[in-house]
Amino acid sequence: MISILGKSNIAQRATNEDRFVADSNWGIALVADGMGGPAAGEIAASIVANQVTDLLDQGTPLAAAVYSAHQEVLRAVEDGRGKIGMGSTVVVAHFSGHHFELAWIGDSRAYLWNGELRQISRDHSQVEAMMSRGEISYSEATSHPNKNIITRAIGHGKFNEHDIPLIKGALFHGEKLLLCSDGLYDAVAACDIARVMNSAISSEQQLDQLLAIALANNGADNITAVLVDSDVIPQENEIIPTLPLVAIARIDGFTEHFTA
């Protein structure tokens, strides 16, 4: 079985433009970070969370559900249900048992904890592109003035269903899947996230600690995290999917980033 929990904090913003879904019965873990300001970002993020959840519940494939949310946000702007320029990121895992598919748009992230923190989603962002071109280092990216500029978002630009990254994985006992908005990882260093994940406390307490550290570090943006854990023991002949590795962080302070 898997267990999915989520928490969010408004932090220093006037409104919370983040939305999350944490439903163990549906097997859905989702974080959407809205943009476009008050009365816009939260609308876009809500559309994404509702649309993706509803379509997955109806059996729609994950990438198709995410693309449909993109189209729905565009329609909402045309219909006057939001503001021009509104949009959202999304990172979503859909579980069938302990196996999952993961998709994302923007810079909300997915991490796998298995004794070290492994970033498995690659941001659609300006600094990620700069790192891939060798223009800046990983350490420079964490403090770059353009680190929050994303290059793809739900409700923005032209992309199709096949442009949505989609990976498959499995979650076993001792491992956890963490989905979060940039409000968390911008305020909490990856090694500090790893230390919290390594602590012998419950998933709910880990979420509380992550949000508390972000707030103590003067995290300004909305902070949202969803945590999935599993009690499944791998079978002897079970084929375990290999997940991509974007970056790695350990409790001893070691970090490394791998370019595309």
Determine the 3-state secondary structure of 104 from DSSP.
Answer: strand
> How far is it, in rounded angstroms, from Cα 152 to Cα 15?
23
Please tell me what DSSP assigns to residue 27. Answer: T
pLDDT at 37 exceeding the cut of 80: no
pLDDT digits (tens, 9 = 90+) for 177-223: 999 999 999 999 999 999 999 999 999 999 999 999 999 999 989 99
Predicted pLDDT at 36:
83
Question: Tokens standing for 122?
Answer: 């690659």
> How far is it, in rounded angstroms, from Cα 162 to Cα 141?
28
Please tell me what DSSP assigns to residue 25. Answer: T
Q: What mean pLDDT comes out for the span 116-137?
A: 93
Confidence of residue 26 (pLDDT cuts 50, 70, 90): very high
| Complete domains list, the chain, with CATH | 2-257 (3.60.40.10)
The bridge status of strand 99-105 relative to strand 28-35 is unpaired
Round the average pLDDT of the chain to a whole number and report it. 94
> How far is it, in rounded angstroms, from Cα 228 to Cα 24?
9
Predicted pLDDT at 94:
98
pLDDT digits (tens, 9 = 90+) for 105-123: 999 999 999 999 999 999 9
Question: From residue 103, how far is each of 51, 124, 250 by CA, in Å?
Answer: 14, 12, 25
Query: 6, 108 in Cβ contact below 8 A?
Result: no
Burial class (CB in 10 A: 0-12, 13-18, 19+), 133: exposed
Question: Tokens standing for 64?
Answer: 């198709």
Predicted pLDDT at 33:
98
Predicted pLDDT at 148:
84
